[in-house]
Amino acid sequence: MTIDPGAVLPPRPPGAGAFARLAATLVQPILGRVVRRVAARHASLFARLGPHQGTDFVIDPVEFPFALHLRPDPKALLFRAVPRDALPVAGATIRGRFLMFLELLDYEEDGDAAFFSRDLEITGDTEAVVRLRNALDDVDGSIAEEAAAMFGPPGRAILGHLRRKYSDDAMPGGER
Amino acid sequence: MSLAELICPAGTPAALRTAVDAGADAVYCGFQDATNARNFPGLNFTPEELEAAVAYAHARGTKVLLALNTYPPAGKVDLWRHAADTGARIGVDAFIVADMGVADYIARTHPGVRLHLSVQAAASSPEAIRYYVENFGVKRVVLPRILTIPEIRKIRQDIPCEIETFIFGNHGLMVEGRCSLTNYLTGQSTNMDGVCSPASDVEYIRDEATGEMSSCLNGFTIDRFGPEEKAGYPTICKGRYTAPHRPEGYYAFEEPVSLNLSRLLPELIDAGVHAFKIEGRQRSKAYVRSVVSSFRRAVDDIRAGRTANIEDLVALTEGQKQTQGAFETKKWR
Ligand code: SF4
C-alpha cells in the first residue's frame, strides 16, 4: 500500500454559529450570480445530470466557515452558502480543500486522481456525484476563470492569487 | 517503423476536443447506452454530439473510432445495429467491436467502414485473430494485456492486420470480455450492460472516529482504506478480501495499479505495433490533456530518432502504483 502522509484531510471545521452565518450571508450574492451565469452559458450540462437535477449536493470546502448547497434544477436553481449546523439532508456530499475544488473547476486536477489520493471525499449517492463531475467536465475551458471574469480585474486578480497559492501549497511534496 | 498512432479516450465532447488539440491521431468514444463498455452515468455522446465531434476532429486531421464493444444479450441486437447505422451515417472512421454478430452486421451493412477488434474480444492467438480478419474483414486487433513483447512480435508476423496495444491507464484485466464479477454482485453485466461496478451500487462509508473509508458495492465491502492510505476504483477485482490462509485481507485478484508502458515504447514500435491506446474515457479533461500531450511528445521524439523524456510520463502516475504488466514479464502477478 502506498502511504501519502500529506493526503489526509484536516479535521472537519465547526462552521456553525454567528461567524459562519455572517460569512455565508456575505458570499451569497456572489454565488447566486456565478451559478446563474454558468447555467445560462452551459445549458447542456443539465442533460448530463439526468435524474439528479433535483439532488441536494453538499460541497464542503474544509477551509471555509460554511459549506455550499447546490440543487442543479434548471427550473429552480439553488446554490447557497450554509453554516454546517444548518445543512439540508444531502443526497451526496463532496468534501475537500477549496483550492482543490478550484483546480478541478480550473481543469488542472483530475477528479479520480484527487479521490485516489484521498484529497476528495465522497459520501451519499455516488451516481449523483459521477453525473455532476461528468456534467461539469463537459464545459469547455475553465469555469473558475469564467466566474472570475464576471467580476472584472478584481475577480481575475483574486483567481490569480488563489492559483499561485495552490501551486505553492502543492510544491513541497509535489503531491496533490 | 510502424506509424505508432496515438489512440486517445474521450468521455465527453469537451474531452474529445481536448484530446484532438493535445495531439491525438484518433479518439475513441461511445454512445450513452449499453453498446459500449464505459456506459457510465453522465458520460458519452448523443448522436448529435458525436456528429459535431466528428466534424471537429476531421477538420483537424484526427480520426474518430466508435466503441460498440459490448455483447448484445439474446434478442436485443437492435440497439447495436442502430448504433452502427448512426455511426456510419455520421462518418466515424472505424468501429471497435467485440461481438461476432455486431462485426458481421457491420461488415455486411457498412462494408466501407473499418472494423477494429476490441480488447473485449480477448483474441490473443494468431488463429483467433485471423478468424476475425477472414470472416469480418477486421483491419486491426487491440491485443489483450496478457502478452509479452516477444509474443506480440511473433503474433505480428503471423497475422494480416494491424496491432494496437494499451500503453497507459487502468489495469483491470482478468480475462478480458469474460469477467462476470460485477454481474455476480450487482446483477449488471460489464460485458452486456457496459458497466463494471455501477455507480448506483457504489457507496463510500467514512468512519468519522478512525478516518477509515470503506468502499462498498451493493452492500458488500470490497475494500477498506486507512485514513492516510491511497484509494482505488471500487472494482471487485481490485478489492481486498480475507481468506482462511490470509485472515489479514489481501488483493485476491488484482492490485490497484496503473499500466504505464512509457519506457517500453521503442520496443513496442520495433515489434511492429501500429497504434498505442490510452485508457480513460471515464477520466477528466485534465487527465486527457496531460496524458495525451505527454505521450504525443514521447512518440514524436522516438519517431524522430530522439530520446523521449520518459520521466514526464512516469510523473503522471505519481503517488499511485504503476506496472508494465505482462508486457515486461509473465511473472508480474
Ligand atoms: S471487475 Fe475488474 S476485471 Fe472485471 S470487468 Fe471490472 S475492472 Fe474488469
Measured CA to CA, the distance from residue B282 to residue B13 in angstroms comes to 12
Asked if B63 and B94 count as a contact pair (C-beta separation under 8 A), the reply is yes
Q: What is the CATH number of domain B5-171+257-332?
A: 3.20.20.70
pLDDT band at B23 (very low <50, low <70, confident <90, very high): very high
Residues on chain A touching B286 (C-beta within 8 angstroms): 104, 107-110
pLDDT band at A112 (very low <50, low <70, confident <90, very high): confident
**Strand bridging mode A92-96 / A57-61:** parallel
Q: Can you give the pTM of this predicted structure?
A: 0.91
Residue that has been written with the C-alpha cell 445495429 in this structure: B81
pLDDT band at B217 (very low <50, low <70, confident <90, very high): very high
Residue B257 alpha carbon to ligand 1 centre in Å = 13
Pick among 3.40.5.90, 3.40.50.300, 2.60.40.420, 3.30.1050.10: CATH of A18-141: 3.30.1050.10
Rounded to a whole number of angstroms, the distance between the first and last alpha carbons of chain B is 31
The reported pLDDT for the residue numbered B320 is 61
| pLDDT at position B264 over 70 | yes
Q: What is the mean pLDDT of residues B73-86?
A: 96
Asked if the interface predicted TM-score (ipTM) of this complex is over 0.90, the answer is: yes
In this predicted structure, which of A117-121, B79-83, B86-90, B101-105 has the lowest mean pLDDT? A117-121
The reported pLDDT for the residue numbered A173 is 36
Contacts of B304 (CB under 8 A, 6+ apart): none
Task: Please report, rounded to a whole number, the percentage of residues in chain B having pLDDT higher than 70.
Answer: 95
Q: What is the mean pLDDT of residues A101-106?
A: 87
Q: Residue ranges per domain, chain B? A: 5-171+257-332, 181-251
| pLDDT at position B318 over 80 | no
The DSSP-derived string for B301-331 is: HHHTTPPP-HHHHHGGGTTS-EE-HHHH-GG
Give the residue among B65, B70, B257 at the shortest CA–CA distance from B164: B65
Measured CA to CA, the distance from residue A65 to residue B259 in angstroms comes to 41
Asked if B69 and B120 count as a contact pair (C-beta separation under 8 A), the reply is yes
**Most B CBs within 10 Å: which of A118, A120, A143, A176, as the mutation test of the B interface?**
A118
Compare CB distances from A135 to B17, B42, B285 and report the shortest one's residue.
B42
Q: Any residues with Cβ below 6 Å from ligand 1, and which?
A: B 172, 174, 179, 181-182, 190, 196, 235-237
Distance from CA of B233 to the nearest CA of A (A): 8
Q: Is A124 helix (H, G, I), strand (E, B) or coil?
A: strand
Mutate to test the pocket of ligand 1, among B175, B180, B192, B235 (most ligand atoms within 8 A of CB): B235
Compare CB distances from B13 to A116, A138, A174 and report the shortest one's residue.
A138
| pLDDT at position A175 over 80 | no
Q: Residue ranges per domain, chain A? A: 18-141
* A7/B228 Cβ within 8 A: yes
Cell of residue A133, nine digits:
463531475
